Structure 1
């Protein structure tokens, strides 16, 4: 196969991944508890927003896919995120959702790992000053 360099410029203005859910309502409530707002909602899809960042939460579950889905999110304070999310999860309302204490990663970020109710892994990364 020939690698053609077409100097293609897509002029991207946004990227919105699709994230599945095992229980759509529980996952929507989980993300809302983490500060996301629902901008659009129908029976199968919710557009979740946090500032200028968005993703689609869908009423679709495939265990292997969701447990291999990861989002890397840059945050200002990974330790504060851990404390806040641990408090949100303390009541047990979000199924199997869980949070791990921040960990310094070799690639230069302090990361709090969060698993949503369907097993999607969120990397809440605070980048260290170089």
Structure 2
């Protein structure tokens, strides 16, 4: 099946990320460095960076434990050690009662990954190619 160039018309692709406590999740992502702003009832836009180089997702005031704890997000970064220093400095486990972030390690599939869990149990892979 051909898309007749439809991909070139896409300007963003965003996941809807659940939150168990919407306000707490907004604080969590703000601490990580995202700009979080409400865009509607129970929806916030979380953005990292500015302009065409920005990355974002939609945080929703919606929670199903099985879904949240099985959702994984990946952020591919150019300097994982710098990101880890930032993450470690935030004391996320103590501040937000989340599972303590795990430091970078090289996984069998060849990428270095640091793991961060958000307040709903969503697992973030902060990743760099080895």
Structure showing greater Rg = 1
Compared CA separation, residues 125 and 27, structure 1 to 2 (3 A): same
Match of 1:33 among 31, 34, 46: 31
Higher relative helix content:
2
5+ residue gaps, structure 2, are none
5+ residue gaps, structure 1, are 1-5
1:126 alignment partner, SS class: strand
Compared CA separation, residues 90 and 28, structure 1 to 2 (3 A): closer
Matched, 1:93 2:89: no
Deviation by residue 1:80-112 (Cα, 9 ceiling, x = unmatched)? 322221221257221224300111022222110
Q: Which residue is 2:75 aligned to?
A: 73
Query: Which aligned runs of 4 or more in structure 1 are off by greater than 6 angstroms?
Result: none
Task: Count how many residue pairs are aligned between Structure 1 and Structure 2.
Answer: 123
User: What is the TM-score with the length of structure 2 in the denominator?
Assistant: 0.85
Deviation by residue 1:21-68 (Cα, 9 ceiling, x = unmatched)? 011111111111111002434440100101211100000111000000
- Partners in 2 of 1:61 and 1:90 — Cα distance? 20
Q: Which residue is 2:113 aligned to?
A: 111
User: What is the TM-score with the length of structure 1 in the denominator?
Assistant: 0.85
2:102–2:116 contact (8 Å) kept in structure 1: yes
